[in-house]
A and B are shown apart, each in its own frame.
Chain A
């Protein structure tokens, strides 16, 4: 009887020690869910969600502090993905938070005074230029976050919508007209 109790106690202590060791040794740094959510977000770093970037928004979602329908650049598709990932219901965009067509910033180079304010505002370093030199957007790197538009003191930055062209054209989902039978 006693020996059995001792054996069970010994096993419990040994396993507890193993678990305790594993908890310290294999500790996961940070919240892995944040990374997963961040991977779904479009990385425009635009702050339209009210957080200063995609990672902070991902952290807020992971902590349950933010809703999943706050990211207009991600589109409804993005909300669906977040809903799938988090196992929650789809939620449509709130008032005035609708997604816009994809666009890139464009600097009217005749009016640029070279103040570097837009360069400081750009979250992805997609603007080149120097003080008192003309600035220009690297269109391929621009995420269309619009953060450079407001700081410009001469209002020379505008957003240009990316029109559909031969290289980004998509085959449409097959729909065929119904003809009434005679």
Chain B
């Protein structure tokens, strides 16, 4: 028997799970349209590769991953692309994001898939590529591209933790998945183990899901999996947090700023393992997931839902009650309110709760913090929520960071127990995003400073180089002059008598003098040129041309006179 460990704090909210885990997973009906956001994962948004009006098949790639951290997006069913535009997405802000709208044609026609009977024959690189191409991301809520997490070259991974804890109230999608599709989850875990070279797989499931535990244990025996264990962990919220589950199963405390992989542990959600198996074994990209539709509905149930299904069409199938005010994506503790009812289901949607005033009455007005520190007692990250609240409220962000604000997992346990009804997590979220923005602008400022300084340096250098070049030229000219002065050569230009004088004249340090000499030399040179160069085409001129020439000559003489008079005036002065 394995000894289990405990983490600090935690709470026991009413689970409300029995409402939705009584019925098997149902296949959701084909919706009227699918609104598929191109940015459903951590990293860069996918780039659309289909045109409006084109027909796509089920499983066809419609968004290619861009850059290192990104993920592919596929058509969840066959149909016609109706639009590629900005639409409301499942995000608390209500800001529009790029989405592909697909109108299903009802035929649900698959594209040619590439199944694989023996994945062990594939190279690890190939496996990772297949996962990336299938758009497999973490389905526990973080939606981080899974292929990125399946490397073991940096750290030796000893333990692969499969997270089936599902600690948050109302949500039962992992519970049902484990009950019904345990064998495939375990097969997926085997692929992950191979990629990570992990020795053991620990599957943590909270002990309020006995059916899931039994199903997983049976599948483990049936599949003859070695080095794998299904472990019932105590039901404490937030026992399904990655750090908390790792702590409970292995006793390893993942410290602040440290990744669990540094300590030899990698963690995946059970749903991700299932999707990885479907992607590798059957060549099916991630185009659907299990979603719990619950809350203010007549028949709460889990559905296998196509990505992009409008939430209201899903909830309607569970029998939405008329007094529904809105939808919460996720659970009541960490979930976020949706900006509209018609937003599409995304890969991160594990649960849609129809909210009503009766179910979730508006929060009582917040009262002043009485510093009872109940929040500190329940904080699973062992933080001081009352201090963090204090600093976040005063916008003293530096101090909040000193109190390890970024170790907060936003589980909401503190707000749950707060006798003053203070929305603590909202303050932490505000402070975190404010710090993020400040840090990005600081980084941008540093980059701009560096570029500006480099530019200044470059301009300075170019100036210096130009000056050096001029100086060198001057020096060379003077040297040549000095040479001619010391060893008079036969004059190559006999006509330029005064030019010879220049050369003969001893080099004078007085710049006025040198300047005059230079001017004199230039004038002589011009005179000489004038004698040598004769104007061409001077014969057979028309009277008109002759008139023009006369006019030009007159202008020239006038200019010369003007120049002379101005020079004379100048000298008079």
Q: Which residues of A contact B (CB under 8 A)?
A: 38, 41-45, 53-54, 123-126, 141, 143, 164-166, 168-174, 176, 178-179
Contact = CB atoms under 8 A, between A and B. Distances in A.
Q: In the A-B complex, list the 10 residue pairs whose CB atoms are closest, starting with the nearest.
A: A171-B429, A43-B448, A43-B445, A174-B426, A170-B433, A124-B451, A43-B449, A169-B93, A171-B433, A171-B430
A164 B429 contact: no
A57 B434 CA distance: 27
B427 interface: yes
Contacts of B524: none
Interface string B427-460: 1011011101100010011111101101100000
A42 B451 CA distance: 13
A165 B454 CA distance: 32
B437 A168 contact: yes
Nearest to B93: A169
A176 B423 contact: yes
B97 interface: yes
A173 B446 CA distance: 27
A170 B449 CA distance: 26
B448 A45 contact: yes
Nearest to B44: A167
A175 to B, nearest CB: 10
B88 to A, nearest CB: 11
A166 B93 contact: yes
A123 B447 CA distance: 12
B457 to A, nearest CB: 11
Contacts of B543: none
A166 B97 contact: yes
21 contacts: A41-B445, A43-B444, A43-B446, A43-B449, A44-B448, A54-B449, A123-B455, A124-B451, A125-B454, A141-B451, A166-B91, A166-B93, A168-B437, A169-B93, A169-B95, A170-B437, A171-B426, A171-B430, A171-B433, A172-B430, A173-B430
Interface string B387-427: 00000000100000000000000000000000000010011
A141 B91 CA distance: 28
B234 to A, nearest CB: 32
B366 interface: yes
B62 to A, nearest CB: 19
A166 B39 contact: yes
Nearest to B429: A171
Interface residues on B, range: 20 to 34
B89 interface: yes
Contact of A45 (B39, B436, B447, B452): B452
B511 interface: no
Given A45-B452, A171-B92, 10 more contacts: A42-B448, A124-B452, A124-B455, A126-B451, A141-B448, A165-B97, A170-B436, A171-B426, A174-B423, A176-B423
Contacts of A141: 447-448, 451
Interface in B354-394: 363, 365-366
Nearest to B434: A170
A126 B398 CA distance: 32
A13 to B, nearest CB: 45
Contacts of A166: 39, 89, 91, 93, 95, 97
B47 to A, nearest CB: 15
Nearest to B424: A174
Dominant SS at the A interface?
A: loop
Contacts of A126: 451
A116 B535 CA distance: 40
B365 A176 contact: yes
A77 to B, nearest CB: 8
Contact of B363 (A164, A168, A173, A176): A176
Given A43-B452, A44-B448, A125-B454, A170 B430 contact: yes
B32 to A, nearest CB: 25
A80 to B, nearest CB: 10
A38 B449 contact: yes
A53 B444 CA distance: 16
B452 A123 contact: yes
Contacts of A124: 448, 451-452, 455
Nearest to B455: A125
Nearest to B97: A166
Given A165-B95, A166-B93, A176 B366 contact: yes
Contacts of B445: 41-43
A53 B452 contact: yes
Contacts of A45: 448, 452
Contacts of B441: 42
A36 to B, nearest CB: 13
Contacts of B436: 170
Contact of A171 (B39, B97, B365, B432): B432
A143 B451 CA distance: 11
A177 to B, nearest CB: 9
A41 B444 CA distance: 12
Contact of B365 (A41, A168, A178): A178
B112 to A, nearest CB: 34
Nearest to B92: A171
Nearest to B94: A169
A41 B441 CA distance: 11
Contacts of A168: 437
Nearest to B362: A179
Contacts of A179: 365
B427 to A, nearest CB: 6
Contacts of B423: 174, 176
B393 to A, nearest CB: 9
A125 B444 CA distance: 14
Interface in B435-492: 436-437, 441, 444-449, 451-452, 454-455
Contacts of A53: 452
Nearest to A122: B455
A45 to B, nearest CB: 5
Nearest to A142: B448
Contacts of A178: 365
Contacts of B430: 170-174
Contacts of A172: 430
A141 B446 CA distance: 11
Contacts of B448: 42-45, 124, 141, 143
B43 to A, nearest CB: 11
A141 to B, nearest CB: 7
B527 to A, nearest CB: 38
Interface in B119-177: none
A113 B265 CA distance: 58
